[in-house]
Chain A
């Protein structure tokens, strides 16, 4: 009897705790949508600035994510398979950008890649600048969000037993080929989830972006702008529309389960 009572208490605690957290997360979003959702959607037709900001946000976030997936997945593999000397240090360093307050991150980027820096001068040679440009937006998004991707991708790859790759190698695959033919499909779902997290983080970034690029405006900067210039009621529709439009690709991606392309291993 005591055992059952304790079990019921634990189950209740789990349910209540979950409900509290879910409410905390859902309530502000619901409030936002209620207050600004309708207005925002209605505005989309006529408000060219809003459409432009949303498009810019989507494009830059997607570009930042693609770059990170291309460069970060091999890095995540090296870290997961512990092939990197000093890998523990590298892993810890990778988490640093997550700790830096966002405006500070923007300033750090300015110092490292601004016009007055060696890297910035090199960029200028190829016609790239980070201030007031899409390049700056992508760079800021990458800085704050790439660590999230690499961490999550590393976990996803580590969960795929290394011996699958070993077997593939004895069957004639080079390390890259083995990772591509075996580990990638098996880790695919985890990698996709990691990319979704990165994209969402990039879309929501404000502090680091606004230091580098105020114009052209991404959606977060536009909503701040409208709040400052016109008031809360002008800012909310922007935010609400961003949430609504972002939910669609997120849902689509999250629902991609167990397709043949991803080859989810048996549980």
Chain B
């Protein structure tokens, strides 16, 4: 019934606007912070939303953690924040910056490469880890201290070690990327791969598809892509030590989450955009951009705006 409810909601919104009792004196504005891996899909979605509603849209991209810091430390609050890892919400943003968030898409880890990559012909779904271990290939991944994709890569390695029953595999894979080939977020890895500086990167499938990179699908037991395998993923954990603290991340399906934070300058417009995103129309746009939108978005927390959540949980 939910999709129907949303469909009715969206059509009501699009019909209701021209008949609004008090027409807006000028166009609405909405400011959206987007995780790097969602940058392109959200740009398309925002453009589509802007065309439909005449809202002026502003988008800022960055690493998920950096975006969260902008809100908590710099007090720059957007109308919508969309991150690559739902974990960042309970870690940094809930409850001070926001009381709720909605899981709206999922992703999986892949190994991406190009035709120019060394040993490209040897890269297969079954054999990917041997190719990565070759000493003549350059493997890039993200810094686990900064980006979710970073620690997810390490979790992938650990799951692979268990899956293929090769003790020590995770550590060897981890060592294959020296500090000089670490990067801060998922998109920078793509840039280096495209420039030929890297042969292989471990990154999100959505980015690989969006940039038309070659990639291999990894076994679902290890690619953090199947919600049904959540408990299996949870067996792997990685401890990320920063200078002043340390966090332990457990394996979990990769879920993208978004929210309208407290103190947003245009909360109503933010909620409207999010509603659009969660609607079939919005989901179609996301899927066209290789983002695996969840058929049924799930809300976490309370005080969800009425515009998004007609019936109370």
Partners in one complex: yes
Chain A residues within CB distance 8 Å of chain B: 47, 49, 107, 110-111, 114-116, 131-133, 210-211, 213-216, 225-234
Restricting to B63-106, which residues have a CB under 8 Å from any CB of A?
Answer: 63, 65-66, 69, 72-74
Known: A131-B197, A225-B184, A228-B66. 4 other contacts (CB 8 A): A116-B195, A131-B180, A228-B184, A229-B242
The answer to whether A230 and B244 touch across the interface, beta carbons within 8 angstroms, is: yes
Complex Cα gap A77–B145 (Å) = 48
Q: Name the residue in A211, A228, A232 with the highest tally of chain B Cβ atoms < 10 Å from its Cβ.
A: A228
Known contacts A231-B72, A234-B243; decide if A110 and B195 are in contact (CB<8 Å). yes
What are the residues of chain B within 8 A of A231 when measuring CB–CB? 69, 72-73
Our pick among A211, A213, A226, A234 for the contact of B191 (Cβ within 8 Å) is A211
Known contacts A225-B146, A227-B73; decide if A234 and B195 are in contact (CB<8 Å). no
Instruction: Give the shortest distance, in Å, between B176 (CB) and chain A (any CB).
Output: 14
What are the residues of chain A within 8 A of B188 when measuring CB–CB? 211, 214
Find the A residue at minimum CB distance from B179: A215
Complex Cα gap A131–B178 (Å) = 12
Complex Cα gap A107–B197 (Å) = 12
Known contacts A49-B243, A131-B197, A210-B184; decide if A232 and B69 are in contact (CB<8 Å). yes
Our pick among B73, B179, B196, B245 for the contact of A233 (Cβ within 8 Å) is B73
Complex Cα gap A232–B76 (Å) = 13
Contact with A along B52-70 (1 / 0, CB 8 A): 0000000000010110010
The answer to whether B244 and A114 touch across the interface, beta carbons within 8 angstroms, is: no
Complex Cα gap A47–B116 (Å) = 41
Complex Cα gap A164–B143 (Å) = 58
Interface presence of B183 (CB below 8 A): yes
Size range of the chain B interface in the assembly: 20 to 34
Instruction: Give the shortest distance, in Å, between B35 (CB) and chain A (any CB).
Output: 13
Find the B residue at minimum CB distance from A49: B243
The answer to whether B197 and A116 touch across the interface, beta carbons within 8 angstroms, is: yes
The answer to whether B195 and A228 touch across the interface, beta carbons within 8 angstroms, is: no
The answer to whether A107 and B191 touch across the interface, beta carbons within 8 angstroms, is: yes
Interface presence of B181 (CB below 8 A): yes
Give the interface SS of chain A, mostly helix, strand, loop or mixed: helix
What are the residues of chain A within 8 A of B180 when measuring CB–CB? 131-133, 213-216
- In the A-B complex, the 7 residue pairs with the closest CB atoms: A132-B180, A116-B196, A215-B179, A232-B73, A228-B66, A131-B197, A231-B73
Interface presence of B40 (CB below 8 A): no
Q: Name the residue in A47, A107, A131, A216 with the highest tally of chain B Cβ atoms < 10 Å from its Cβ.
A: A131
Interface presence of B238 (CB below 8 A): no
Interface presence of B137 (CB below 8 A): no
The answer to whether B182 and A214 touch across the interface, beta carbons within 8 angstroms, is: yes
What are the residues of chain A within 8 A of B244 when measuring CB–CB? 230, 234
Complex Cα gap A253–B57 (Å) = 48
Find the B residue at minimum CB distance from A215: B179
What are the residues of chain B within 8 A of A214 when measuring CB–CB? 143, 180, 182-184, 188
Complex Cα gap A216–B179 (Å) = 7
What are the residues of chain B within 8 A of A107 when measuring CB–CB? 191, 195
Complex Cα gap A94–B244 (Å) = 44
Known contacts A131-B180, A215-B180; decide if A229 and B72 are in contact (CB<8 Å). no
Instruction: Give the shortest distance, in Å, between A137 (CB) and chain B (any CB).
Output: 11
Contact with A along B183-211 (1 / 0, CB 8 A): 11000100110011100000000000000
Instruction: Give the shortest distance, in Å, between B179 (CB) and chain A (any CB).
Output: 4
Complex Cα gap A49–B244 (Å) = 13
Complex Cα gap A228–B66 (Å) = 4
Complex Cα gap A107–B190 (Å) = 12
Find the A residue at minimum CB distance from B192: A131
The answer to whether B182 and A227 touch across the interface, beta carbons within 8 angstroms, is: no
